[in-house]
Amino acid sequence: MGPLMKDYGFDMTGAIDLLILVMVSSGVFGFIYEVLFYRIDLGYFVKRGSTYGPWVPIYFFGGALFTLLVYRLKANPIAVFFSCVVVSGLLELVTGWILFEVFHTRLWDYNVEIWNWGNIGGYVCARSVMVFGAAGLLLIYMIIPLLSKPVTWINRSVMHPVCLILLGLCAADVILFALSGRKPGWRL
């Protein structure tokens, strides 16, 4: 959080608000990306993710990890890209493996998708991490500066509760969907 606080003059509350906005934006980006990708892959639209809302939870964590681990490298775009590739690859691999081995759930399987070269057990593939590397560049150099503006401009007594409500809404959505017993992804 230190580099964000230094670059934008945020205190810890401002940095947390920005991180929440990054997480929610990343989750929505992931939803849009996956809906469009699977439209190409399957030929029809599929509601992706394991929530009711228009976000995919693993992208929340990817956005948070990119911000917390990679943002500090922003002076070097090549390092940002490859760090995002590694971070997203490890996130997908570990998350996919735990979901399958511990919970007997498979939320994605690169074995059955198009453009799945560099596939490791269906959990991660080169195409996905390359896209996430590019998305990390977009996040670090465009989205974070854009999202920092409302955190700076809007009064903290308004911004902080709004961010906490967004985070609570996302968390409640994940929990309610998990408790519902519904299967992730359905045809639109």
pLDDT at 87: 98
Higher pLDDT, 157 or 185: 157
pLDDT at 183: 72
pLDDT at 186: 58
The total number of structural domains in the chain stands at 1
- Indicate if the pLDDT at residue 101 is higher than 70: yes
Q: Does residue 108 sit in helix, strand or coil?
A: coil
Angle between helices 12-42 and 57-65 (to 10 degrees): 130
pLDDT digits (tens, 9 = 90+) for 28-57: 999 999 999 999 999 998 888 888 889 999
Give the residue numbers spanning the domain of 35.
2-187
For the entire predicted model, the pTM comes to 0.93
pLDDT at 105: 86
Element (H, E) at 187: strand 186-187
pLDDT at 1: 83
- Indicate if the pLDDT at residue 181 is higher than 80: no
- Indicate if the pLDDT at residue 108 is higher than 80: yes
Handedness of CA 120, 113, 180, 61 (dihedral sign): positive
